[in-house]
Amino acid sequence: MSLLYKSTRNSGKTVTASYAILKGLAEDGGLFVPTEIPRLSVSMDELKDKSYQETAFAVMKEFLTDFTEEELKSCIEKAYDGKFDTEEIAPLVKEGGAYYLELYHGATIAFKDMALSILPHLLTTAARKNQVKNQIVILTATSGDTGKAALAGFADVKGTKIIVFYPKAGVSRFQELQMVTQKGENTSVVAIHGNFDNAQSGVKAMFEDKELAKELDAFGYQFSSANSINIGRLVPQIVYYVYAYAKLLKNGEIAQGEPINVTVPTGNFGNILAAYYAKKMGVPIEKLICASNENKVLYDFFQTGTYDRNRDFVLTTSPSMDILISSNLERLIYLLTGEDDTEDRRMMEELRTKGAYEITDQMKEGLADFAAGYASEDQVKQTIHEMYANTGYVLDPHTAVASSVYGEYFRKTGDTRKTIIASTASPYKFAGSVMEAIDPEGMEADEFKRIDKLRELSRMEIPKAVEQIRNAPILHTRECGIQKMKETVKEILGVS
């Protein structure tokens, strides 16, 4: 059976999965969604003995139905290999009353690797299937982790170029170093004088710019996206929730069919939406707990039904969640409207013009699958400190946001269901904030001294990704204002 995709802003027109991946964003500015969310066709009993790669195939074949079995398996094999420093790919660690699903064992030590190690393969396969002659230019806005994971995934991939925009003052020192030391003939990195929302809006505007598309086409280029607005990012992220449930079952932590909760540190709403899709596929997930940092626009939305980005943008120690426009929420909104593209368009237009929209009471009922909370900077620090003091386990600040929110949820509701916490980054990626929380006295000024200090204190080895940039030369120094993003892209591509 073949599954098709349509835009959240135009329910009438359908396209194949490979076309949706190739495009990234729909022409009308909407996000591609499947016409229905497929059910898993294998039981958890069968899945519990499967490897990560086998689970990936079982999940992804339901969504990417125009890829052949051979194509899909080849993409999966190339993605989930020795680039990951653990054979399980996504290990589960039981600590402090929850199960931490460690999604940071890939090449760039953040969860973005889970999807971005496969996206380049899906995309080049999709280009072949759709007889695309142009070079694909991957245009990416990053709040810190997507950029590096996408650069690593696309570096020197034939037929592609990648341009990454990151907020100059909005990423950690380590994240910035990871990006500006990126090798690869086809890679470009640009620091913008603005925040992540500016970067993302600028990129989205270029996707919607028909004139620009024409100019690029004349030079043999077309855009695609590595952001989680691309369905090719979202689908691989569903896999690890299925995998984690199956592993809990295999390890005897839960009984067959036992409902669990999932807590996700959230920014652009991609990761938690993948968990929601997993639930719709049949994984027994009860509550999806959406954890925000001090940029708590989503928490307020779940409380009130009003999404309002009119507020100060806070720079926190969890920069990858410093976002006020959570793009993937549009996919949930669309479902809540009963797939009404007119309503979706109306609300997104309000978001664009007024910075806010409100959902109906009926739509609010659809939010019952979710719970939400947020953590202050103090709570994040305290959570990292306490976890380390009590167990020796080290959390990065993003995962600590989720851990703190889950703790509060548990105290408030008394909900004793087993809970998975998506652990989204290695603490080594945020050694400064982590050291500040566990040993402020021993704080070093130099990033790599902090990393070495953290190694002394923690039971976790320093990942390869850290050593790779320790002495790497800086290769990218380009900067631009938020008004100049389009010109910068044209300059990089030599289009004018």
Ligand X SMILES: *Cc1c(COP(=O)(O)O)cnc(C)c1O
Closer by beta carbon to ligand X, 176 or else 341: 176
Rank residues 181 and 320 by Cβ distance to ligand X and give the closer one: 320
Cβ neighbour number for residue 467 with a 10 Å cutoff: 12
Q: Which CB sits closer to ligand X, 249 or 395?
A: 395
Three-class secondary structure of residue 313 per DSSP: coil
Cβ of residue 111: shortest distance to ligand X, in angstroms?
6
**Among 6, 50, 61, 112, the one annotated catalytic:** 112
* Nearest residue to 192 via CA among 476, 485, 490, 493: 485
- Residue 276 as a binder of ligand X (CB under 6 A): the answer is no
- 112 catalytic? Reply is yes
112 binds ligand X (CB under 6 A): yes
Contacting residue, 30, 194, 270, 432, with ligand X by CB under 6 A: 270
End-to-end CA distance of the chain, in Å?
45
x/- track of binding to ligand X for residues 409-448 (CB under 6 A): ---------------xx-----------------------
| Residues in contact with ligand X, shown as a per-residue x/- string from 339 to 378 under the rule CB under 6 A | ----------------------------------------
Task: Name the nearest CA neighbour of 139 among 115, 166, 117, 118.
Answer: 166
Q: Out of 71, 102, 113, 145, name the contact with ligand X by CB under 6 A.
A: 145
- At its nearest, how many Å lie between ligand X and the CB of residue 452? 22
Q: Between vectors from CA 194 to CA 193 and to CA 197, what angle results, nearest 5°?
A: 150
Tokens of 61: 């074949």
Residue 195 in the binding site for ligand X (CB under 6 A): no
CA distance 91 to 50: 14
Give the range of 26-34, 265-273, 412-420, 462-470 binding ligand X by CB under 6 A. Answer: 265-273
Angle, vertex CA 271, rays to CA 397 and CA 303, nearest 5: 80
State in angstroms the smallest separation of the CB of 233 from ligand X: 9
Q: Which stretch binds ligand X (CB under 6 A): 3-11, 48-56, 260-268, 277-285?
A: 260-268
Q: Are 177 and 447 in contact (CB under 8 A)?
A: yes
Number of residues located near ligand X, criterion CB under 6 A:
17
Q: Are strands 306-308 and 10-15 parallel, antiparallel or unpaired?
A: unpaired
- Of residues 8, 55, 187, 271, which one binds ligand X by CB under 6 A? 271
Stretch that binds ligand X, among 118-126, 200-208, 263-271, 454-462 (CB under 6 A): 263-271
Amino acid, single-letter form, for residue 373: G
Q: How far is CA 387 from each of CA 319, 352, 384, rounded to the nearest angstrom? A: 21, 41, 5
Alpha carbons 230 and 455: distance in angstroms, whole number: 36
Binding ligand X (rule: CB under 6 A), the pick from 18, 230, 268, 317 is: 268
Instruction: State the Cα–Cα distance between residues 237 and 235, nearest whole angstrom.
Output: 5
Q: Which is nearer to ligand X, 55 or 326 (CB)?
A: 326
Q: Which is nearer to ligand X, 56 or 110 (CB)?
A: 110
User: Which residues have CB under 8 Å from 225's CB, separation 6+?
Assistant: 24, 25, 138, 139, 140, 203, 207
Which of 83, 398, 450, 453 contacts ligand X by CB under 6 A? 398
Query: What is the C-alpha to C-alpha distance for residues 286 and 281, in angstroms, rounded to an integer?
Result: 13
Among 25, 321, 359, 465, binds ligand X (CB under 6 A): 321
From the list 267, 373, 407, 427, which residue makes contact with ligand X (rule: CB under 6 A)?
267
Nearer to ligand X, 47 or 162 (CB): 162
Residues written for the chain: 496
Task: Indicate which single residue of 188, 266, 403, 419 sits in contact with ligand X (rule: CB under 6 A).
Answer: 266
Contact between 207 and ligand X by CB under 6 A: the answer reads no
Question: Interface with ligand X includes 269 (CB under 6 A)?
Answer: yes
Q: How far apart are CA 390 and CA 382, in angstroms?
A: 12
Distance CA 232, CA 15 (A): 14
Closest separation between CB of residue 119 and ligand X, Å? 14
248: helix, strand or coil: helix
Nearer to ligand X, 47 or 234 (CB): 234
- Could you tell me which residues come within 8 angstroms of residue 32 by beta carbon, excluding any fewer than 6 positions away? 5, 6, 7, 8, 15, 20, 23, 25, 26, 231
Residue pair 394/321 in contact by the 8 Å Cβ criterion = no
For the segment 226-245, give every residue that binds ligand X (CB under 6 A). 228
Using CB under 6 A, pick the residue from 320, 337, 383, 404 that binds ligand X. 320
Residue 415 CB partners (closer than 8 Å, separation 6+): 261, 287, 409
Q: Which is nearer to ligand X, 115 or 216 (CB)?
A: 115
By CB under 6 A, name the binding residues for ligand X.
110-112, 145, 228, 265-271, 320-321, 398, 424-425
Positions annotated as catalytic residues are: 112
